[in-house]
Homo-oligomer: A and B are copies of this chain.
Amino acid sequence: MKNTQRRAAILEQVTLAHGPISAEEIFAILRERFPTLALSTVYRNLERFAADGLIDRETSPDGVFRYSGREGHGHYLVCTQCHSRIRLHECPLSAMEEKLEEETGFSIDRHQLTLYGKCPACKKQEPHN
């Protein structure tokens, strides 16, 4: 894997991002620094990183791929209205996984958990209940 400026910049954005980030979002950010950057380059690198296990890929509820760094496997609580996000620090699943592996014979290698709801600010805005 060669080391190019764009490749490094893409990976940097993933790890810099506050939470899971999409190819388009990275593209928008890096376009300023690299005016000729192609969206396909972003996709190709992200897929590469994910295949090599450098980053994680997940699908957000709107059906878009989002990538996140591996600085600690994280789960999120996201607001369905304003998309604000809070990272959860505990992962209640590690324990459960072992038990499941025994019960089912599967070998589990990853899981995705995301919780959806309304953040305090958005709750206030709609008293239509």
**A residues with CB within 8 A of B:** 57-65, 77, 79-80, 86, 88, 90, 92-93, 96-97, 100-101, 104-120, 123
Contacts and interface: CB of A to CB of B under 8 A. Distances in A.
Contacts of A107: 117-118, 123
Copies of this chain, count? 2
B108 A111 contact: no
Given A59-B61, A61-B59, A113-B112, A106 B92 contact: no
Contacts of A119: 104-106
Contact of A92 (B58, B92, B116): B92
A93 to B, nearest CB: 7
5 contacts: A88-B100, A93-B113, A104-B119, A107-B123, A110-B115
